[in-house]
């Protein structure tokens, strides 16, 4: 019996165990790591579109219109205070000024064409949320959330881009502590506004006076 046992041959090399456990560990890491990597990637600017200005059919310089000409946000985006959507201006709003200035500019050719053919300009959305997310502009603007909070310093943008990540986490951070982002209603569109006292003090006062709620349940944004 002892001689027979000596004739047995080990079919696997000594390092087979290491390979086996390495394979198991790699599979487990892939199962956990792949979803984690996708979640992390979804929060990068490559996925959110943050900082990347989309090409528009007509070049529109917000710096010139907002800072140089002093045109307020509501003049072009009047829906922001009245409805869920801020809206984009009808071509007739543009022509209200440009029927008198830059009337032959090639840059405004698409605007004139749109006006005379009654065909809307197909602007590309800059801050686009998924279809399953509900966002009401008026609910935020009329509660003291400034335009700059979500859109950044549009008055300094030659070509508008998405300034914030607009992820669920980013929105919830504001919803949990809204007082950190509130301002007087008459300063909502002021891109250069700064509080005259500590923001936490002012924010708590505005939260109480404006009746701002901290909505973090799912139905608040997913309806």
- The tens digit of pLDDT for each residue in 69-122 reads 999 999 999 999 999 999 999 999 999 999 998 888 898 999 999 999 999 999
Q: How far is CA 4 from CA 12, 130, 181, in A?
A: 19, 72, 83
Q: Residue 30 — pLDDT band, cuts 50, 70, 90? A: confident
Given a cut of 80, is residue 37 above it in pLDDT?
no
**Looking at residue 93, what is its pLDDT?**
93
> Would you say residue 2 lies in a domain?
no
Query: How far is C-alpha 62 from the geometric centre of its chain's CA atoms?
Result: 18
Given a cut of 90, is residue 136 above it in pLDDT?
yes
Let me know whether 102 and 168 are in one domain.
no
User: For 4-8, 150-154, 165-169, which range has the lowest pLDDT when averaged over its residues?
Assistant: 4-8
**Looking at residue 10, what is its pLDDT?**
67
- The whole-angstrom separation of Cα 117 and Cα 26 is 62
Domain span at residue 194 reads 59-88+126-220
**Looking at residue 2, what is its pLDDT?**
53
Let me know whether 113 and 164 are in one domain.
no
> Would you say residue 19 lies in a domain?
yes
Q: Which residues pair with 90 in a beta bridge?
A: none
148 by Cβ neighbours in 10 Å (0-12 / 13-18 / 19+) ranks as buried
* Cβ atoms < 10 Å from Cβ of 104: 7
At which residue do the structure tokens 């205070």 appear?
Answer: 81
Let me know: does 150 contact 216? Beta carbons within 8 Å.
no
**Looking at residue 203, what is its pLDDT?**
97
> Would you say residue 64 lies in a domain?
yes
Per-residue pLDDT averaged across 170-184, rounded?
96
Q: Residue 52 — pLDDT band, cuts 50, 70, 90? A: confident
């Amino acid at each position: 019996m002892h001689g027979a046992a000596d004739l047995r041959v080990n079919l696997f090399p000594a390092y087979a165990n290491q390979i086996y456990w390495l394979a198991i560990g790699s599979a487990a890491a892939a199962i956990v790591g792949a979803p984690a990597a996708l979640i992390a990637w979804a929060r990068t600017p490559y996925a959110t579109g943050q900082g990347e200005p989309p090409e528009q059919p007509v070049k529109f310089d917000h710096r010139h219109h907002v800072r140089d000409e002093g045109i307020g946000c509501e003049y072009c985006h009047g829906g922001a205070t009245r409805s869920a959507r801020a809206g984009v201006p009808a071509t007739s709003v543009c022509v209200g000024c440009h029927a008198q200035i830059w009337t032959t500019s090639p840059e405004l050719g698409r605007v004139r064409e749109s006006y005379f053919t009654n065909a809307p300009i197909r602007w590309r959305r800059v801050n686009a949320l998924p279809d399953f997310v509900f966002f009401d502009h008026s609910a935020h603007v009329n509660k003291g959330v400034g335009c700059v909070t979500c859109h950044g310093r549009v008055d300094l943008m030659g070509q508008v881009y998405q300034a914030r990540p607009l992820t669920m986490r980013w929105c919830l951070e504001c919803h949990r502590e809204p007082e950190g982002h509130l301002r007087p209603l008459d300063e909502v569109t002021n891109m250069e506004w700064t509080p005259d006292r500590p923001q936490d003090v002012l924010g708590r006062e505005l939260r109480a006076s404006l009746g701002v709620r901290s909505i973090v349940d799912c139905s608040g944004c997913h309806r």
